[in-house]
Amino acid sequence: MILVITLTHNASNSLYTNVNRHKNILIIGKAATDYKLNQISYKSSESAVKSLYGASQLTDAFVLAKSMGVPDIFLANIQTQTDYIELIDVIKQYDFTYIVPLGIKFSDSFFNPVLNRLMTYAEFYLENIGNINNALILMTDNHASLYENIDAFLGDMSEKIDRFKHVAQKALLNGRNLCMVANNLQNYEYANLVLACALCTAEYSKYPEADFGPAIFDIDDFDVENLELVYFKNNVLTDTTVENLKNFRTESDQAKLINIDRVIKFIERELDFSEFRGKIFTDYIKLKIYNKLNEFLKSIVGVAILDYEIKSVEFVVTSPGAGSILNTFSILPINSIEEFDITIEV
């Protein structure tokens, strides 16, 4: 398998200063005040959040994320569902690790006057930021407690996911940046927030885990089959676990697995070859690129990968007088039994 990656870097911004690029969350929700309405703010103090946002959905989410050990938490105060749409121009200026919308469901839709049709918020977010940065959007839907039995719950989720996939594939959306989380945790209103926190604090060598509490319904892998539905499962010998960690990537390859994709996105965020853009591709430049790539990959052995091999650094003509530098290398992620090739386009 070969993944082709084009590196993109968002403009630096003071909001993002001194933030862990691989372990941060943007929580979008409703506050009890108009503080920073439709704006993104960075907060680290629980007392400040309670004072500024009041007793609210957004404050409760911040407190939960803080208690689960998330190092960097961004907040966006919205008051109406329209605000989720207006906020997108601000969100796409940053490369958040995880984006967690509260108050809108995976299946919720609105009328888009530009396209003259109904579209889901999930589709809208992917369309606007799916190809701009590496943020993983985690969404959920109705709480499992609202359903009479497991068949009713899974039937509804399956129908909503299939409907979304049909639209997303037709529109060629980058499903790699979207995750649908079954809302089947008994003690939490939003399972997508809990999972985002667990992903944010998990080492690359470990599966995300946390104090999830009991799960509603005993869901097994044969219940979901090829469904892109992350769910929580009660276990007799261990605590509640999260299962079926998949995104909506069309190809059924390693990048469809969120735990593997975390490693790939870690590499994408860290590698920066901008210094070589616009320069004539000589043997000296080729050696410089090779050495930089080798130094970086060597530094993450034992952290995110077990092994690697640089296969080629080459210049490919894309148009008369212009071209791209393609760096191809293989990696074996710590949490994978299979190595695969990545081609990074400079």
286-330: per-residue pLDDT in tens?
Answer: 999 999 999 999 999 999 999 999 999 998 887 776 778 889 999
Q: Which of 169, 217, 221 is nearest to 191 (CA)?
A: 217
What's the Rg (C-alpha) of the chain? 21
What local confidence, expressed as pLDDT, does residue 8 receive?
Answer: 47
Residue ranges of the chain assigned to CATH 3.40.50: 9-265
Tell me 37's DSSP state: B
Cα separation, 268 vs 11, whole angstroms: 16
> Mean pLDDT over residues 134-148, rounded?
97
Rounded Cα gap, residues 158 and 147, in angstroms: 14
**Whose structure tokens read 């703010």?**
41
12 has a pLDDT exceeding 50: no
Report whether pLDDT(45) > 60: yes
Check residue 7 and give its pLDDT.
54
Q: How confident is the model at residue 182 (pLDDT cuts 50, 70, 90)?
A: very high
Written as six digits, the tokens of 43 are: 């907060």
Q: Which residue has the higher pLDDT, 52 or 116?
A: 52
Determine the average pLDDT of the residues in 272-278. 85
Mean pLDDT score, 183-208: 95
User: What does the angle CA 307 – CA 313 – CA 318 come to, to the nearest 5 degrees?
Assistant: 135
Output the pLDDT for position 300.
94
In this predicted structure, the answer to whether residue 131 has a pLDDT above a threshold of 70 is: yes
Confidence of residue 197 (pLDDT cuts 50, 70, 90): very high
At residue 15, does pLDDT exceed 70? no
pLDDT mean over 6-10: 48
- Hey, which CATH number is domain 9-265, 2.60.40, 1.10.3470, 2.160.20, 3.40.50? 3.40.50
Per DSSP, the chain holds a count of helices (H) and strands (E) of 10, 14
Is the pLDDT at 171 greater than 90? The verdict is no
**Which are the contacts of 216, defined by CB distance < 8 A and separation ≥ 6?**
144, 145, 184, 185, 186
Per-residue pLDDT at 335 exceeds 90: no
- Tell me what pLDDT residue 10 has: 44
223, burial (CB in 10 Å: exposed 0-12, middle 13-18, buried 19+): middle
110: which DSSP letter? Answer: E
* pLDDT digit string, tens, across residues 210-231: 999 999 999 999 999 889 999 9
Residue 326 one-letter amino acid: L
Residue type, 186: Q
225: left (phi over 0), alpha (psi -120 to 50) or beta: left
pLDDT in tens, 63-83: 999 999 999 999 999 999 999
> Is there a contact between 135 and 98 (Cβ–Cβ < 8 Å)?
yes
The CA-CA-CA angle for residues 236, 239, 244, to 5°, reads 95
Worst-scoring range by mean pLDDT, 97-106, 127-136, 152-161, 178-187?
127-136
Average pLDDT of the chain to the nearest whole number: 91
